[in-house]
Structure 1
Amino acid sequence: MHKSSPVIDSKLPRVGTTIFTVMSKLAADCGAINLSQGFPDFQADPSLFDATWRAMRAGRNQYPPLAGVPELRQAIADKVASLYNAVYDVESEITVTAGATQAVFTAIAAFVRQDDEVIVFEPVYDSYVPAIETVGGRAVYARLGYPGYRPDWQQVRALISPRTRMIIINSPHNPTGSLLGADDLEGLAELTRGTDIVILSDEVYEHIVYDGAQHQSVAGHPELAARSIVVSSFGKTYHITGWKVGYVLGPAELMAEFRKVHQFNVFTVNTPCQLGIAEYMGDTSRHLGLAAFYEEKREFFRDQLGASRFELLPCSGTYFQLARYSAISDLPDREFACWLAREVGVAVIPVSAFYRDGQDDRVVRFCFAKQEATLAAAGERLRRV
């Protein structure tokens, strides 16, 4: 036992344990079905493991280049060109990262300086604001309109100031499942035209878009692409969230700054996993078929809740389903989520956790990236509420 510890003026005085950790622990403690944290409970394709194992056995186990193995960067470039008609230079405009969270933090650290402002949209994914505050920036909050969770670009216009350094967008959006359309990208381009504002576009669910819609990537909008760092995730696409491998796209000038930080907070990413993913990407059906795969799960889960008292909100992308519970309880959403885990045996995320002021619309988030048996068991419990 140390006699005394240094007194630290916390950089993040309002940050505690994340709601995801809290609810997953509660699920484990209560034996509840965990539909809170966003990860699959099913296995990835064994051929991906085989490809990674072959790379290990071939001796590809030492440091890769800082930006990622050439094979993976080329596979990413080919995918982006095919999907978005966008050309990114393999050497200078694509970097492999240790997951999307690292990519987001590194981009913020590279471009946001003391007292710079960063516009975020509430409900906001929980890693953005702590990263901004860690580097001395200040988050400025726009709000997606409930219940459709659409941005108001006139509101954003009013928030832009001479200190605005970055705008962070997220589509398909976690936690709401809403999408940005082509008109939204045009609105964003118009607002940032003639400025030095950097766009950080979190597109980790880019392949999980429903009902025949097309993902509108910033990479496919030349004017925005010129000022944007685009983030994606192999964890979400190939059901390997624990591998923590993602990537970023950006014009060479921005990527050079991104890599200055990347080389010192991560340097490089697991070599054989990169090579396994690169080989696996050769079959494009593996990412092109993802929307249909998850749309089937979305429909199965929505059917499970159809006879319940939960009111399902629209879900246009991601593997998250929001639901209003006001017909069941008038408890605040955090209390309701704890009650649901303890008494009903299903763990969810209260959406107020994604608001700075704890705005509570009596809405919770379910993750349906689960086996049908898991979703059916949860549905049986939820229909009894």
Structure 2
Amino acid sequence: MALQVQRTIVDLTGGDAMIAAIAMRLPALLAVGAIAYALPRLAEKMGVSRHQAVWLGVINPLVLMHLVGGMHNDAMMIALVVVGLLLAADGRWMAASVAVAAGASFKQTAVLALVGVAGLAYRHARGERREAPLMSAVDQRSYVWIAARVGAVAFVAFAALTLVSGLGWGWIANLGVPGSVLSLLSPVSMAGAGVAGALTAVGVPQEWTGGIAPAVQIAGLLAVVVALAWITWVLAPRRPVAAAAWALLVFTAGGPTVYPWYVLWGVVLLGATFTDRRVVRALVWITGWLLAYSMLDVAVVNGATMIGVAAVAWGAWTLWRQRSELDRPLPAVEPGDSGSDAGAATTPRHSGISALLSRV
């Protein structure tokens, strides 16, 4: 669907490169608008302050810089995932499955959010409002049945969208292409390259070290599979939105290629689930680092390295000076639906990030 949307924009703009490039931002802006509408409502249903959701998912500098400025398809994917989870929180799991499938038509990684849809459908069927205990054998069979139906509906919807697009399934053969690029932000790729480089530096023949990086990447993907299995079976029935967020974040961290906007897949959803203050603090610093990386990357490419360095230095100083804002608590809200992701609704939700990075 992403290619067809872009083709439509080019056709409507008469093939003018400049106008088409500007118009490409319109779907991204609409997507961010959908996130701004759905994410705070999802947060309140999960018993979380909407202010946390607004910062992490809407006015987060990475959202404005990459989803809008970079006109990435990730914007539409994330928006449809958030809308899908909101629908699932209201008990409309079939519509939610279709929404996530539509998100996958823009970027296939959206399918990982189906664990959240399945968890919310399971929680809604049981009429639960708070964090659930571990599943019994009967509960496990019920959860598997619900998850299977969610997956089946999503697959049928995705296949139908693929048929309507007229582009077919040729993209499957190219799923490994991103892994062919050495990503500076991928932990597993850099770990593999670092080990191989260190061994080469001490005299180990390059023909012996050439397979280290691919082997580490494979190990990272195996770790992702194990983590996703745990998230699907243990976390999703208890905290569905958190499960969707962490599934996307784990896939990002363990993947062979990472770009700054990939982190937003899960970070946006974390805004709608209870997040420990230490995690929020870490997210702020990670966001600052990715902003610095992005600014320097753009500055170097455009021959303005010193401007980029100055911008990064100013941003780092501002972030450090305002770091105490992270300790300001936000009031808790009562969960508004049976899909509540909160544990105890009286626990304060810590986050001063809204005031903090708005100054960066």
Common fold by TM > 0.5: no
Hey, which of these two has a bigger chunk of strand by percent? 1
TM-score range, shorter chain: under 0.3
